[in-house]
Structures are given as structure tokens and as C-alpha cells.
Structure 1
Amino acid sequence: MRRTTSVLATTLLAAAAGLGAAVPAVAKVSPPSANPHSIKTSPYVALGDSYASAAGVAPFVVGSPPACSRSTLNFAHDLAAELEPTSFTDVTCSGADTSDFYASQSPGVAPQLDAVTSKTRLVTMTIGGNDEGVFTNSFFGCATISATDVLGNPCERKYGTTFTDAIRTKTYPNVVKALKAVKAKAPAATVVIVGYPEILPEVGRLSCYASMPISMGDVPWLNHEQDVLNEVIAKAAKQTGARFIDMAPSSAGHDACAPVGTRWIEPALGPINAFPVHPNATGEAAMAEQTLLQLGL
């Protein structure tokens, strides 16, 4: 049951108050014909990577593996606070890729699919960004070579279509396989995969370079890479009957170059209560709010 006073709405309104935040665009629902009244929300299992675990966002779940950096303020916990499921299990883990659904990510961390059973009725996740090392090698890799040409596009010149090719040919089938595996274990569940929020503004800004050292010409190139990643995730969701939550419209203007209080993603240098280039607590709350909105809950 939704509480009359929404914790998520309160968080988001507090962040937006006095900051001139833009009203989020109407986001897509996938599939558009789905009946929200048919969605059961318990038992609820949260899977996924660092964007799902809210890596670096204190406080952390007591007793969870430290390497997973599993926050009590991640979007799954925000959803659980709203939906009040009778059973909620969070196995999100920083650094996870799709292979960690089937095998132990590290000592003491069980395969994520172990948490999913035939009784599960709701599953949420973000996954795919770590497959083939795309996220780390592109965003953090580009930061290391940006000083060679701040105004140009040294990363694009070095890597070309390497990352987008890997996303299309490797990440896409990996996500399809992962979603099918979840469906196989929980055939009656609503499976939800949340897209990644916008990390960078539309164009490079020299004023942002100190905190996000990405060359100006590489910003559109990295934005295209993220668009491709979200596109294949949406395609995988459609193919497997999962629900895709599009974060792109609502997260525009809340990127890592936005000021404190407006941004949903913390910058590479000087992040506040989140891992570099990861969602902060407000960003996680926004991911939960969009999930509720786009599912019609």
C-alpha cells in the first residue's frame, strides 16, 4: 500500500525546492499495454550492480558483504518502503555483471539468482553496464587520457566503436540471457530492469572538467555509448517480457556536472556520499519514483 505522504516525493521535492529543477518529461512504459493492477509486489527481490546497490551511499545494510556496498538508501529499499512487501530480499552488489547472476561474484557473495524463487512476484535490477568492462574502460579510461586534448576527442579517436560494438554484440545477449534466467526461476514475477540515468550533460563544459575530466569532444561520444546501452537493455526487456524503466527523460539536467542538490550522479572527483560517477541518494530516490510512475503503482 502506498503511504499518503510519500518518502520518495518528499526527498525529491526537497532536492528541487528553490533550485529551479525542470519538471521531468513523461517517460515511456514498457510494455505500454501492461495492466498495473496485475502487478504483485511481494515477495520482492532486488538484483543488480552498483547503480542498484547505491554504491558508496551511507548508511549500508547491516550484515551485507562490504564489497557489495549495499545501501539502505538504494532504489530497491526506497521501493520497499513505498510498496511494503511482506518479503523483501536485497542481493544487489557493486561491480556485478550478468555472469554474477549465476556464479559467486566474490567469497561470501552467493549467485544473485539464488535469491529468486518460484514464489517471487517482483524483481528489480540495473545490470549490463559492467559487462565487457565497458563502463570502467570508457568513463574512467577516458578520464586518464583527457589531459592530452581537453578540447578534442582523444578517447573517441582511440576507441572508435569498440564499446558500442561490444554492447550490441555481447552485452545485449548477456542481458537477454539474464532476464530469461530470472523469468525461468520466477515465471509469475514482474521483472523490472531500470535504465541507467544520464551521467553527462549533452555537450562538454569546461566548467565541469575539474570534477569530470572528460574531453569536450568525448562527451557526446560517451552519451551515445550510454544511449546504445540503454537501447539494448530496453530491447532485451521487450524480447523477454520484462519491464524497462526509462531514466533518460527525467534524469536530463541532473547529470554529474549539475550542482549539489540538483545532480543525481556524483562526479569523478569530489563525490559526496556515493562512489564516483554513481547515483547519490537523491538519484536512487528518483529511480524508485520513476519505477513506481512507469509501472503505474
Structure 2
Amino acid sequence: MTIATTPSASAVRTQPRFDHYVALGDSYTSGPLIPLPKPTAPLGCARSTSNYPTILAVKARVGSLRDVSCGGATTDHMTEPQRTPLGTNPPQLDALRPGTDLVTLGIGGNDEGVFGDIIGTCPTLRDENPSGSPCREHFTEAGTDTLAEAVARTGKRAGAVLDEIAARSPHATVLVVGYPRITPAPGSGVTCPDVMPLADGDLAWADDIETALNGALRTAAETHGASFVDMYPASYGHDACAGLQAWVQGKDTNPLVAMSYHPNAAGMYGIATEIRRTLNTTS
């Protein structure tokens, strides 16, 4: 006689919810200088064991994690190798398998050099007009905001990456991870020139650019069969000006905390928490 049995609650809890998780992305995924770095090649990608893929793998009961994120990555590096000072990262999509069942994608800020242009140019222009928007004016040509146009194009490239993910791992749950707030919320009146040295008007403009990028990524996710993890509501009050509550490092790199203008350990935990919340509401 065969007796039907039901798995115990403890057995269900220990079973992997996802068998094979692949994390794709740039430095906002890899977590440069957040203790501790992963001893995985290439070292130039600066992956951390405190980044959100590692945290999520535990929270979401993942059987196997393949984190191929890399600092400086663009959407091109999803299908092309990325050369770093300490080795070459293979095309990130090569980590996908037909049986991959969870994928996170955090990409777009480096496309056309948008984030690099902001953090590389805006602080040097602040003294020209501390209460104005000298950086926005610098990147405006014939009345056109060139960085806003760039992030709009990024959305199309992200959509193409999502199509390729679906082709390689057709049964995967795919989440596009938005960028958390870097600058204070517009209208808050908060400034911190010693930490985030942008002119007052450029703080709001930089937020506009990041909001536009996240909007482009959301649209790409919604039109290409993925879910979007919106980090803006959760990261309110956790921008670089938030002191001990900050999820993002300011202008000064701290080798024991994070690279400048990048998420710290608390930020990575916050991102992992939001991804898990999204998973729980979409599956």
C-alpha cells in the first residue's frame, strides 16, 4: 500500500525556490569596494560578497548563483567581452543556460557615458554658479538636453538585452533593477556640497536624468516581458546626502565602505529587499 505524504513546512523552506540565478549588471550590481570582494576573475570587475545578488541568493533560497556583473559595464557588454585593467570579463549573457530560472539585470547608467559625465563634469562647474544649473547648461545644445536624449536611447538597448535573455533562458523570471536615488529628492531643500558637490539646480537636474533613465528601463521591462524593481520609493531619504542613513557613497571613495557615488552595504541590502518584495508580488 502506498501512503501519500505531504512535505513538512521545514522541508519546503529548505528547498531552493530558484535553481539557477544569474546576476547581470554594472558596478551598481557588482559593488566595488564594499567589504568583502569576491576572489573571482576578473578582479577588475570588483565584485563584492556584500552585493545584492549575494544577499538575494540567500533571501530568495537560490540553489546556485552566477554573478557576472562588472564595474563599468554597458549594455554592449551583455554580448561582448569587457576588458578591465585586471582581466577580461566574458560577455555576460554567456552565463545564461536554458534552465536558468532567475535573472536580474542592472544596467544602463554607463551607456553613452551618462553617469560618468555627470560625476566627472558637474562638480568642476559648481563654482561657476553654486545656486544655478551650470552642468545642465553645459550638456544642453541648441535647446536639447543631450544626456536626456542619451538615456532615452538606452531604453531601446535594454529592451534588446531582455529579448536575448528570453531567447537563452525562456523559463526565467527576469527583473530589471532600477537605480536608487543618488541625489536628494527635488523640493526637499537638502544640499550637501561637501559630499555631493553639485550646484543646487544641478542636483535637481541630475535627479531628472536618473528618473528618466529609470523610466526608460521600466518601459523596456514592461514591453519585453520582465518586471521592474523601482528603487526610488524605497531609497527616499537614503541618498548620498543622508548621512548615516545614506545608501550611496558621496564624492570620497572609502575603501572600507564603497567607491565614490556607488551603493554601500546598506544600499545593497535595501536593493535585495526590494527585489525580493517584487518577486513575492509577481510570482
TM score, norm. by length of structure 1: 0.83
- After TM superposition, list the pairs within 5 Å mapping 1:31-46 onto structure 2: 41-46=18-23
Look up the match of 1:68.
Answer: 45
Aligned with residue 139 of structure 1, among 119, 125, 149: 119
Percent sequence identity is 37
Change (3 A) 1:284 1:206: closer
Do the aligned partners of 1:64 and 1:70 also contact (CA within 8 Å) in 2?
Answer: no
Aligned with residue 231 of structure 2, among 237, 247, 262: 247
Structure number with higher strand proportion:
2
Do the aligned partners of 2:184 and 2:191 also contact (CA within 8 Å) in 1?
Answer: no
1:206, CA displacement in angstroms?
7.5
- SS of the residue aligned with 1:42? strand
Aligned with residue 154 of structure 2, among 155, 159, 171: 171
Report the AA paired with residue 159 of structure 2. V
Look up the match of 2:175.
Answer: 192
Aligned with residue 159 of structure 1, among 135, 139, 145: 139
Look up the match of 1:8.
Answer: none
Look up the match of 1:129.
Answer: 109
1:141, CA displacement in angstroms?
1.5
1:166, CA displacement in angstroms?
1.1
Runs of 5+ in structure 1 lacking a partner?
Answer: 4-38
Runs of 5+ in structure 2 lacking a partner?
Answer: 1-8, 11-15
Per-residue CA deviations over 1:123-176 (Å, capped at 9, x if unaligned) read 0121011100011102332112112211111011111311011111x2111111
How many residues end up aligned between the 2 structures? 259
Aligned with residue 228 of structure 1, among 212, 215, 237: 212
Greater Rg by CA: 2
1:223, CA displacement in angstroms?
0.7
Do the aligned partners of 1:43 and 1:121 also contact (CA within 8 Å) in 2?
Answer: yes
Look up the match of 1:32.
Answer: none
1:52, CA displacement in angstroms?
0.6
Deviates more, 1:182-191 or 1:133-142: 133-142
Look up the match of 1:201.
Answer: 184
Do the aligned partners of 1:46 and 1:91 also contact (CA within 8 Å) in 2?
Answer: yes
Deviates more, 1:247-256 or 1:64-73: 64-73
Report the AA paired with residue 222 of structure 2. K
TM score, norm. by length of structure 2: 0.87
User: Are 1:83 and 2:60 counterparts?
Assistant: yes
1:269, CA displacement in angstroms?
2.4
Per-residue CA deviations over 1:52-93 (Å, capped at 9, x if unaligned) read 111221211113322101000000000011223222111010
The 2-side partners of 1:47 and 1:134 are apart by 19
Do the aligned partners of 1:266 and 1:275 also contact (CA within 8 Å) in 2?
Answer: yes
The 2-side partners of 1:270 and 1:90 are apart by 24
1:44, CA displacement in angstroms?
0.7
Do the aligned partners of 2:191 and 2:200 also contact (CA within 8 Å) in 1?
Answer: no
> Which structure is richer in relative contact order (CA contacts within 8 A, separation 6 or more)?
1
- SS of the residue aligned with 2:195? coil
Report the AA paired with residue 151 of structure 2. I
Change (3 A) 1:286 1:82: same
